[in-house]
Structure formats: C-alpha cells, structure tokens
Amino acid sequence: MTSISFDEFLKVDIRVGRVTRVEAFPEARKPAFKLWIDFGPDIGERKSSAQITAHYGPEALVGRQVLAVVNFPPRQIGPFRSEVLVLGLADAEGDVVLVAPERPVPLGHRLH
C-alpha cells in the first residue's frame, strides 16, 4: 500500500450526484450502463460509464444518489465519453456495489 499525504487526498474531488438517466452500453467490453448524473448547479450534469449491471437495473438507478470523482480528466470508452468516476466496491463475487450516502444530501456536496 502506498501512502499519500492528507493534502494529496484533498485533491481528489468526490461529490454526490443523482442519477437522472440510464442507458444500456452494449459497445462496452464488460456489461455496463451509461449514466447521466446531476451534481447540482455548480457542476451540472456529467456522464459516466459504470460496470454495475450485476446488482442494478436502470429502474433502480434513476433517482439514486451516488458518489463520484468529478475532477479526473474525461475518458473515452468506445463511442462514449465518461466524465466522472462513479465509486463502488467489489462484493465477494467481484461485482460492483455502489458507494452512496446513507441519507439524502444536497447535490454537489463534497465528501469530507
């Protein structure tokens, strides 16, 4: 494990957003969804590709709050430009479980 300073950690901008739209992403190498996430008025809506199909369907994702890194450079994934990294943890089978606030919080708030 590599150590980082607290100042380095503060450079990672993790914000809460609400999923507003979900589409299948059949062009992805591994099963994934295209997500549109609203981070509030300061950041706006951003897109992400997420390999979360094992535990979530589109109907379970729309309206859900998620945490994402918003200050990574955009990444081209096939024909889709992913602008944020949605955060999750692998379960015992290696499938992603989303990281999210326990209770609703204002959109765009930063992880402390």
Strand partners, 50: 33
- Name the DSSP letter for residue 80: E
Non-local (6+) Cβ contacts of 67 within 8 A are 14, 15, 16, 86, 87, 98, 99, 100, 101, 111
CA 37 to CA 24: how far, in whole Å?
15
pLDDT at residue 108 greater than cutoff 90: yes
- Domains of the chain by range and CATH? 9-98 (2.40.50.140)
Secondary element (H or E) of residue 77: strand 75-77
- pLDDT attached to residue 42: 96
Q: What is the pLDDT of residues 20-72, one digit of tens each?
A: 999 999 999 999 999 999 999 999 999 999 999 999 999 999 999 999 999 99
**CA 8 – CA 103 distance, rounded (Å):** 28
Q: What is the pLDDT of residue 27?
A: 93
Distance (Å, rounded) from C-alpha 81 to C-alpha 48? 7
Residue 112: pLDDT above 90? no
Indicate the pTM of the whole model: 0.94
